[in-house]
């Protein structure tokens, strides 16, 4: 009996590990574009799900952003059905986003996947992001200078407020491995032309920046960036636990908003103080603060000379007595 190709064994193991969080007999959605990453994920998921009675459904999202997108979506669903998956195709309308067309398409795609997961009562949605995608995400976050949160990259497991669970089984797998898996499995891969379109920031990072870093600094850059993301996520989880314990003692509800103890904020290290401010504003008003906005609020506790109120997205911050009060605007 011929031995199993190592690339197939690697991806099946990654999927098996991720599916350990899914109950036997549950339903999972695999986001399928027809590219090598998602196709390898779909095939491996079908194999690993079979012994546990897990039902697998593919979801292909047609963004309608290029000629032939409907045909590409139909071909992806045919590939899904060929490996034993019931296929769902959903056409979406991509709107505008302040963060650009890539973000707008991503928002539309995730909204559609979330809706399909709800319709099918799925335990999880599986996404085909690889280690290379993770490295690109960290590199782009570093370029934006938006702090540790953006450098954490993509989590292997995430649960949204609406209880949608997202799994990324292939974050430890290189993109070349998924293509080799498809070749070894005789699966025809669709190459999205957008993946070579240098109008997109991520494509420029992939095709121009990372190869230069590898050439000038040596191999292993992608793995190093992915390790950085993993380490920062571990740190963030520890910080979050400390913050939630602290917030219970220092936060109170106020009229049309929420307030935080000045003394408690001032007593905490800057890293915790700034995270508390960002978390309070995000959880109460659903908006994120920039670093400059966060530091301005922190100065109400650490360097107050009568300044304020501070206008923030969706709210304002003002020092009143021994508390900083955030109110909706």
Q: Is residue 242 part of a domain?
A: no
Number of domains the chain is built from: 2
Tell me, what's the pLDDT at 181? 97
Work out whether the CA dihedral 182, 186, 192, 196 comes out positive or negative.
positive
Non-local (6+) Cβ contacts of 28 within 8 A are: 19, 22, 45, 49, 54, 55, 56, 57, 122, 123, 124, 125, 126, 167
pTM for the model stands at 0.81
- 206 and 259 housed in the same domain: no
Domain of residue 283, CATH code: 3.30.465.60
- 172 and 113 housed in the same domain: yes
Tell me, what's the pLDDT at 262? 95
Task: Give the total residue count for the chain.
Answer: 329
Question: Of 201, 224, 247, which marks where a domain is finished?
Answer: 224
Q: Is residue 239 part of a domain?
A: no
Tell me, what's the pLDDT at 100? 72
Digit-by-digit pLDDT tens for the chain (329 residues) are 567 899 999 999 999 999 999 999 999 999 998 889 999 999 999 999 999 999 999 999 887 667 677 888 888 888 888 888 999 988 888 777 666 777 788 888 999 999 999 999 999 999 999 999 999 999 988 887 766 767 888 999 999 988 999 999 999 999 999 999 999 999 888 877 777 788 888 889 998 999 999 899 988 999 999 999 999 888 888 878 888 888 888 898 888 889 999 999 999 999 889 989 998 998 889 888 888 999 999 999 999 999 879 999 999 999 998 999 999 98
- 314 and 215 housed in the same domain: no
- Domain with 108 in it: 6-224
Nearest to 180 by CA among 39, 84, 17: 39
CA distance 301 to 259: 12
- 213 and 261 housed in the same domain: no
């Amino acid at each position: 009996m011929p031995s199993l190709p190592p690339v197939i064994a690697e991806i099946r193991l990654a999927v098996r590990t991720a599916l350990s969080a899914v109950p036997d007999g549950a339903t999972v959605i695999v986001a399928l574009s027809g590219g090598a990453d998602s196709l390898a994920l779909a095939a491996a998921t079908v194999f690993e799900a079979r012994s546990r009675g897990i039902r697998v459904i593919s979801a292909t999202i047609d963004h309608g952003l290029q000629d032939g997108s409907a045909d590409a979506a139909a071909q992806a669903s045919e590939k899904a059905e060929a490996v034993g998956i019931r296929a769902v195709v959903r056409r979406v309308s991509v709107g505008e986003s302040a963060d650009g067309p890539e973000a707008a398409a991503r928002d539309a795609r995730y909204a559609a996947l979330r809706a399909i997961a709800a319709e099918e009562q799925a335990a999880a949605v599986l996404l085909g992001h690889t280690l290379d995608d993770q490295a690109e995400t960290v590199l782009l976050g570093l370029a934006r200078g938006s702090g540790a949160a953006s450098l954490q990259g993509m989590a292997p497991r995430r649960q949204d407020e609406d209880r949608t669970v997202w799994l990324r089984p292939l974050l430890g797998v290189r993109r070349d491995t998924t293509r080799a898996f498809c070749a070894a499995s005789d699966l025809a891969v669709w190459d999205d032309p957008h993946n070579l379109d240098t109008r997109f920031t991520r494509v420029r990072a992939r095709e121009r920046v990372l190869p230069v870093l590898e050439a000038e600094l040596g191999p292993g850059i992608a793995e190093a960036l992915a390790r950085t993301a993993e380490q920062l996520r571990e740190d963030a989880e520890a910080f979050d636990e400390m913050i939630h314990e602290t917030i219970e003692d220092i936060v109170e509800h106020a009229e049309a908003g929420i307030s935080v103890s000045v003394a408690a904020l001032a007593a905490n290290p800057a890293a915790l103080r700034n995270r508390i401010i960002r978390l309070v504003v995000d959880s109460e008003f659903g908006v994120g603060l920039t670093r400059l906005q966060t530091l301005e609020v922190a100065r109400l506790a650490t360097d107050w000379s009568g300044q304020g109120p501070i206008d923030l997205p969706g709210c304002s911050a003002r020092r009143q007595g021994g508390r900083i009060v955030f109110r909706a605007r």
